[in-house]
Structure 1
Amino acid sequence: MTTFTRLTVTDLLDHAAGLGELLADAVAGGASVGFLDGFTPQQGERWWRGLVEPVKGGQLLLWAALDGPRVLGTVQLRLTSYPNGRHRADLAKLLVHRDARGRGLGRRLLELAEQGAAEHGVTLLLLDTQTDSPAEQLYRAAGWTAFGTVPEHAADPAGVLRPTTFFHKALRTEATK
């Protein structure tokens, strides 16, 4: 049975190996998430462990979809510390393991991040994703609005420069109702 949880620092460390495997799976599957072909689960684990301080400091919120100890998916919410931007946050690294797709995990993780953002007073979310990717379809279906595409913005895992589509979504919070 899949459970969804917001990860604490302890949870992050406990699941770092599984998160590393998930990230390596995403890269191997062609996801343009910042890393190139040959990215290993061990490199992924080190990358996730590098997020301890932002999680501890409250600048980064993480959720995971878990099947027992196995990490099936994750999403990040990066809060800003700029005084003029505390109303906005960036959604990042929405990942679902290739063998767990099609079960609604990505949509549920997205909902949790949006709820978490609203609970933190965030009224505007931003994200970017590779143009024409399956993730782009998910964001559109979830009510996100595309506001621009930048050609050759980021390399895919094979190193080929691809366009990136940027999205935003306004959230309603108790303060804005």
Structure 2
Amino acid sequence: MIEELTADTLPAALPELAALLEACVADGASIGFLHPMPAGEAAAWWRGLEGSLRDGSRRVLVARRAGRIAGTGALALAGLPNGRHRAEVSKLMVHPEMRRQGIARVLMLALEDVARAEERPLLVLDTKAGDAGEPLYRALGWREAGSIPGYALRSGGGADATVFYYKTL
């Protein structure tokens, strides 16, 4: 089941969302954080979304399995006048225990539906080069725009390249 997170539903979901973020980072996901995460960092990041959820500049979807949050993905709506036709898909994550069940695919398709409803026909995203999500993005019609070496630091040292993708709906 896919549902939209709002500023009002965020507080109740916060413990599960923080646990999801921590589990994904511990499993090696390159989603802006390094492992080990300091205590409270994940919850603070999610709490920090309240304003953008309230003003509508970010739309966050959660996928539930057996009543538990299994995954999430966000759509950041560009706000400047020359960008009101595009949005960025970000923080797509599925709990490591719930992967390979089609949850990421369902979230991506739902985010595309939100983008259509928001009249945002151009979507962009970036991901670590070689990430497990790349085949999914390509299968869903996303096109690679290019990569930047050394873009994101990795836990344990070093840096990974990121690959940018786009899709026109």
Match of 1:135 among 128, 133, 136: 133
Please name the residue that 1:17 is paired with: 15
Instruction: Look up the match of 2:71.
Output: 73
User: Could you tell me which amino acid in structure 1 is paired with residue 48 of structure 2?
Assistant: G
> Taking every aligned residue pair, what percent have the same amino acid on both sides?
37
> Taking structure 1 as reference, are residues 31 and 130 closer, same or farther at Cα in structure 2, changes over 3 Å only?
same
Amino acid at match of 1:145: R
Residue 91 of structure 1 is aligned with which of 80, 89, 92? 89
Cα distance in 2 for partners of 1:119, 1:136 equals: 25
CA–CA separation in structure 2 for the residues paired with 1:68 and 1:48 = 22
Structure 2, unaligned stretches of length 5 or more? Answer: none
Judged with a 3 Å threshold, the aligned counterparts in structure 2 of structure 1 residues 40 and 26 are, in CA distance, closer, same or farther, namely farther
| 8 Å Cα contact 1:17-1:42 kept in structure 2 | no
Counterparts of 2:24 and 2:39 in 1: how far apart (Å)?
Answer: 10
In 2, the alpha carbon distance for the partners of 1:49 and 1:117 equals: 23
Distance in 1 between the 2:155 and 2:106 partners?
A: 26
Q: 1:164 to 1:150 in 2, by over 3 A?
A: same
| SS of match in other structure, 1:24 | helix
Give the counterpart of 1:145 among 136, 143, 146: 143
| Partners of 1:64 and 1:41 in 2: CA distance | 23
Distance 1:41 1:62 in 2: 23
* 1:107 aligns to 2:105 (yes or no): yes
Q: Which runs of structure 1 show a deviation greater than 6 angstroms over 4 or more consecutive aligned residues?
A: none
C-alpha distance in 2 between matches for 1:25 and 1:167: 25
Query: Aligned partners of 1:99 and 1:123: how far apart in 2?
Result: 33
CA distance in 2, matches of 1:134, 1:59: 28
Q: What letter is aligned with 1:7?
A: L
Deviation at 1:88, TM superposition (A): 0.3
Matched with 2:120 is 122
In structure 2, C-alpha distance between the alignment counterparts of 1:139 and 1:40, rounded to whole Å:
31
Query: Could you list the runs of 5+ residues in structure 1 that have no partner in the other structure?
Result: 172-177
- Whole-angstrom CA distance in 2 between matches of 1:14 and 1:68: 17
Tell me the alpha carbon deviations over residues 14-56 of structure 1, each in whole angstroms, 9 at most, x when there is no partner.
Answer: 1011111010011101011111111157321111011000000
Deviation track 1:67-110 (CA, whole Å, cap 9, x = no partner) reads: 35521100000001100110000000000000000110000000
The one-letter code of the counterpart of 1:109 is L
Q: Distance in 2 between matches of 1:24 and 1:125?
A: 26
Cα deviation per residue 1:110-158 (whole Å; 9 max; x = unaligned)?
0000000010000100000000110112111111000101110111233
CA RMSD of aligned residues (A): 1.2
